[in-house]
Structure 1
Amino acid sequence: MTGLADHLIIVPILLPLVCAAVMLLFDERRRDLKGGIGIATTVALLIVSIVLLRQADLTPPGSGVRTYQLGNWPAPFGIVLVLDRLSALMLVLTGVLGIAALLYALARWHRAGPRFHTLFQLQLMGLNGAFLTGDLFNLFVFFEVLLAASYGLVLHGDGTARVRAGLAYIAINLTASFLFLIGVSLAYGVTGTLNMADLAQRIQALAPGDVALVAAAAAILGTAFLMKAGAWPLNFWLPTTYAAASAPAAAIFAVMSKLGVYIILRLWTLVFGADAGPLAEFGGDGLLVIGMLTIVFGTVGVLASQSLPRLAGCSVLVSSGTLIAAIGTGAGTVIGPALYYLVSSTLGLAALFLLVELIERMRDPGADVLAVTMEAYSETNEDDPGEEVGVAIPATIAILGGSFIACALLLAGLPPLSGFTGKFGLMAAMLKTGGATIQASSWMLVGLLTLSGLATLIAMTRTGISSFWARMDDSVPRVRIIEMAPVVCLLLLCLGLTVGGGPAMRYMETTARALQAPQDYVNGVLSAPRAGSTDRQAHP
């Protein structure tokens, strides 16, 4: 017999799907009703995700994973959903960002175009399904669902810049999907399976003539996932697209860019681990180089950015590059701090994307040109007695400024917020060798992390001065509580990560150790009994 608790794994997929279908029954004029349904659904998703994370955390190490067999068909023959500590973590992160972005959108963005709430729920469904699925084909299916929804979200609203960026975004993601399909087909043709646990077993016994074909399939799949993560050199689209998208869409895209990183980490530790024979740690050096080049590209973009939206988009590249390079180091001790950094940077980036629009409301469209002209010709009023010194800062400006400073500290990796904890943990893990010689690549990565943090601090300081200190007028932007509350809550969560750094890092390190023991995952998936069965042995 099975209870309701056994069906919780599929709820993060079914709930937004049903919600999206129900919303299609209502006319677009009933947006308030749709907004209420969307908020209730997203809150329920977060609650279920937290319960699943609690269940995954209570699972004793080495006891495998929790599975859900659709149609009660065992793996590798049927579709199976897999819950472990990593997938549960990503579900909770998606739920948090979903609530923040949706609350922000209820202020005005959900009225900027049709079917916003339906697209948003389908986006959540695709993300949750991609994190839970246990086979590559259904990963492709959920990949396409979330991409189809993201096409609508990135074009939501109006404006030539958004349409132009959206067309480039669609083109690059269609290319990634094409590569994904080719890689999946090639992998299936060689191994005869797409279940990731079964694939991990079969790769260990590959015929010598099939090794090159599987390596080619892995390279093609890796290219598709790296494109989605915004890795160099196929990341030219990301800063422009994220800068042009609406604030709530860009906020949820912050976790969507981490989907590529999640898949790379999952496949690299599960399928191409130490027991993969000739393909053990396949592509690790390439990931390290690509990650470091992505950090360089993102750092240059951060320094060169002349607008806050583009600066936020380039910061996504720095975050993705850091995670890809951390995976490429091949050190198991780095994965735990990398996961902590993933959560911290994603929350910080989402808060910044929401904050960008509120700050941009203070800027006059011609302010940038006027500021450059005044600086070039030294047009200052020397007779000004400075009577404005000491004037009280309006509360709105104070809250926006404080939130901006918190985002700057998070992305630059400075104390006291969680960005420092994540970056320091990464550096400490790379430089901790147990007496062995530290590799040159580790020193290079530590240097790049330091320089990228310095560049982010310089760029954010420059932007903060132009936005808050050197404003051309004294106007105070109109900001609603429902817009500011998600930003503050995301930043408070980052503060909570700092205060609760011990338990949070414990969870991340336990997750990292589980990823380094892929046999537990394989046994948990392939040996899972059918529902209602008393036979706890593996099925043939």
Structure 2
Amino acid sequence: MGWSDHLLIAPIILPLVTGALLLLLDERRHALKALINVASTLLLAAIAIRLLTMAGETGEAASRVYLLGNWPAPFGIVLVLDRLSALMLVLTSMLALAALVFSLARWHRSGPHFHTLFQLLLMGLNGAFLTGDLFNLFVFFEVLLAASYGLILHSSGPFRVRAGMHYIAVNLAGAALFLVGVSLVYGASGTLNMADLAARIPELGATDRTLLEGGAAILGVAFLIKAGMWPLGLWLPNAYTAAAAPVAAIFAILSKVGIYVILRLSIVLFGADAGASASFGSSWLLAGGLATIAFGAIGVLASQAMGRLAGFYVLVSSGTLLTAIGMENAGVTAGALYYMVSSTLAISAFFLLIELVERAQDPAANVLAVTMEAYGDDLDEEEQEEEVGVAVPATLAVLGVCFASCAILLAGMPPLSGFIGKFALLAAAIQPADASPAMRVATWTFFSLVIFSGLSAMLAMMRAGIRTFWAPVEGVVPRVLVMEIAPVAFLLLLCLALTVQAGAAMRYMEATALSLHQPSAYLHDVLSAAPVPGVKAGGH
């Protein structure tokens, strides 16, 4: 067993050790804690990129399995690295790096234990993406939720506390449902290892199958709450709007945890080989995803504040991905994965950008702008001095370019990656000629809603851009530091790289989707993983 094989546990151990170390340091040593946090996050990003290359080297459908305690599956805890989990690790580390650097300007000093909570959140996220059994998925889910509770309340404030308490209550309910669902699944099947569970489902009797499907439905509700499916995601826009800018930026990946788990479990447990339970819940995902897109698009169109606009677009993104999962098509899944990466990067960049753009605005100015738009400007035109040929300050020019890039990405307009992702997704969705009439109706409804959501995003972003850059009520230029604009540019450059390397990226997504929809190799790799010779189980 080489040193590279132990890298599978590094994304969990590294943030755990770093978070514990940061907790021991005095809270007033901001510079030292920030330096340790940045160094750990950079190392974590390097490890995630290396794991991505390792996943690409394993072949079309193979996985790397790490046996904790040297116990074989399904008796011991296993970590599984495949193309999908590696992709999520890299996406998480990129968002974490951008959010952390942005926070160093001022946000990390606005509340206690920011750096510790940040690292524990990364530990929970990475563990959820790597684990191969439902019990440890619950453990890592609780870790990331506990860290997110502290982060969403970071910097306090009445609105943030109110929205944060709502967020905590909803997610505690989701965690309770998770525990109930896992218990029912274990009672019906006698195992929580995902691969072993997939192998046992076709052999279950009618009674046990009913119990298992009930547990899976409850488990699904818990993750659909996190993913933000309508009507379970009504809490999300307020919570994300209230969060501090770097917290909202890293929270862009939290809704994708629910998407990841639903995608993984729906195919592994209820795929074509699941017998009578095949395609369990797919119709609900399809219908719920379509409803979520419609609700999110209407919310985007109705939003006057940019923070709420971004929050509702998270719902649009989740609805699009849930609909794609419900279609159970490898080509659609490949397009959805590409779209997921692009939309998550764009949303995260937009959350950071909102804080910079709104810095120089008086909250009353937004109300005045809406009033002027609705009722007209009653100011005497003779008193308004027309300015001709006024130079745009460099700061506003940079912010304007970043804002326009976010608008193009979120609306899915060419030529950036948002358009490529939607095009690949819709092209694959309308391809099957042997689809049932109901599926054809759902497909064209999906097509229409995706176009409508893009149009809604474009209109809302244009309206916000005009108010902010073209005809602001207040002409104050915000003070922006390099370490604040650099993370936004970094995320947008990643979207540009995704556009330029669209061919290579889509080949990776297609291979990932193929391995997901053919889970036999995943099951074989996990269940046949042999302990290390000469080492007793338990590590002694």
- TM (normalized to structure 1)? 0.97
**Aligned amino acid, residue 480 of structure 1:** L
Q: CA deviation at 1:531?
A: 1.7
Partner of 1:516: 517
Q: Deviations over 1:378-427 (max 9, x none)?
A: 32442368552221111110111111111111111001110000001111
Q: CA deviation at 1:373?
A: 4.4
**Mapped pair 1:190 → 2:196:** no
Note the 1:93-108 alignment, pairs <5 A. Answer: 93-108=91-106
**Mapped pair 1:176 → 2:177:** no
- Of residues 241, 244, 247 in structure 1, which corresponds to 2:245? 247
Note the 1:181-220 alignment, pairs <5 A. Answer: 181-220=179-218
Tell me how many residue pairs correspond in the alignment.
532
Q: CA deviation at 1:188?
A: 0.3
Q: CA deviation at 1:532?
A: 3.4
Partner of 1:227: 225
Does the 8 Å contact 1:362/1:467 carry over to 2?
A: no
Indicate the SS of the match to 1:415: coil
Q: CA deviation at 1:364?
A: 1.6
**Aligned amino acid, residue 218 of structure 1:** A
| In structure 1, distance between residues paired with 2:332 and 2:241 | 31
Q: Deviations over 1:76-115 (max 9, x none)?
A: 0000000000000000000000000000000000000000
Partner of 1:495: 496
Change (3 A) 1:208 1:103: same
Partner of 2:74: 76
Note the 1:39-188 alignment, pairs <5 A. Answer: 39-62=38-61, 64-188=62-186
| In structure 2, distance between residues paired with 1:370 and 1:429 | 45
Change (3 A) 1:482 1:223: same
Partner of 2:317: 319
- Of residues 284, 304, 309 in structure 1, which corresponds to 2:282? 284
Q: CA deviation at 1:362?
A: 2.6
Does the 8 Å contact 1:251/1:350 carry over to 2?
A: yes
Q: CA deviation at 1:434?
A: 4.8
467-476 vs 498-507, which moves further: 467-476
Change (3 A) 1:183 1:392: same
Q: Deviations over 1:298-350 (max 9, x none)?
A: 01111111100011000000000000000001112100000000000000000
Q: Deviations over 1:266-322 (max 9, x none)?
A: 001111110000000111111000000001110111111110001100000000000
Q: Deviations over 1:46-95 (max 9, x none)?
A: 10000000000011224x31011111011100000000000000000000
Q: CA deviation at 1:363?
A: 1.3
Partner of 2:8: 9
225-234 vs 462-471, which moves further: 462-471
Does the 8 Å contact 2:188/2:209 carry over to 1?
A: no
Q: Deviations over 1:492-537 (max 9, x none)?
A: 1001101000000000000000001111000000001112379xxx
| In structure 2, distance between residues paired with 1:378 and 1:392 | 25
Partner of 1:379: 378
Partner of 1:356: 354
| In structure 2, distance between residues paired with 1:270 and 1:384 | 68
- Of residues 280, 289, 300 in structure 2, which corresponds to 1:302? 300
| In structure 1, distance between residues paired with 2:153 and 2:397 | 32
Partner of 2:401: 402
| In structure 1, distance between residues paired with 2:42 and 2:363 | 37
| In structure 2, distance between residues paired with 1:371 and 1:222 | 42
348-357 vs 378-387, which moves further: 378-387
Change (3 A) 1:479 1:382: same
**Mapped pair 1:460 → 2:461:** yes
Partner of 1:537: none
Q: CA deviation at 1:472?
A: 2.0
Partner of 2:444: 443
Change (3 A) 1:456 1:527: same
Partner of 2:538: none
Partner of 1:392: 391
| In structure 1, distance between residues paired with 2:33 and 2:201 | 47
Does the 8 Å contact 1:154/1:249 carry over to 2?
A: yes
**Aligned amino acid, residue 38 of structure 1:** N
**Aligned amino acid, residue 40 of structure 2:** T
Does the 8 Å contact 1:154/1:162 carry over to 2?
A: yes
Indicate the SS of the match to 1:24: helix
Q: CA deviation at 1:361?
A: 1.0
Q: CA deviation at 1:209?
A: 2.0
**Aligned amino acid, residue 444 of structure 1:** T
Partner of 2:485: 484
**Mapped pair 1:366 → 2:364:** yes
**Mapped pair 1:411 → 2:401:** no
| In structure 2, distance between residues paired with 1:246 and 1:51 | 31
**Aligned amino acid, residue 269 of structure 1:** I
483-492 vs 366-375, which moves further: 366-375
**Aligned amino acid, residue 209 of structure 1:** T
| In structure 2, distance between residues paired with 1:80 and 1:194 | 11
Partner of 1:538: none
Change (3 A) 1:436 1:219: closer
| In structure 2, distance between residues paired with 1:372 and 1:217 | 48
| In structure 1, distance between residues paired with 2:420 and 2:383 | 45
- Of residues 240, 253, 256 in structure 1, which corresponds to 2:254? 256
Change (3 A) 1:90 1:374: closer
Runs of at least 5 residues in structure 2 that lack an aligned partner in the other structure: 536-540
| In structure 2, distance between residues paired with 1:231 and 1:310 | 17
Does the 8 Å contact 2:66/2:78 carry over to 1?
A: yes
Does the 8 Å contact 2:330/2:510 carry over to 1?
A: no
| In structure 1, distance between residues paired with 2:454 and 2:80 | 36
| In structure 2, distance between residues paired with 1:167 and 1:94 | 25
Q: CA deviation at 1:3?
A: 2.4
Indicate the SS of the match to 2:475: coil
Q: CA deviation at 1:175?
A: 0.4
Q: Deviations over 1:215-265 (max 9, x none)?
A: 101110110010000111111110000000000110110001100000000
Change (3 A) 1:219 1:436: closer
Q: CA deviation at 1:491?
A: 0.4
| In structure 2, distance between residues paired with 1:515 and 1:199 | 16
**Percentage identity across aligned positions?**
60
| In structure 1, distance between residues paired with 2:37 and 2:334 | 33
| In structure 2, distance between residues paired with 1:331 and 1:481 | 44
Partner of 1:526: 527
**Aligned amino acid, residue 90 of structure 1:** M
Does the 8 Å contact 1:374/1:380 carry over to 2?
A: no
Q: What is the CA RMSD across the aligned residues, in angstroms?
A: 1.4
Change (3 A) 1:408 1:372: closer
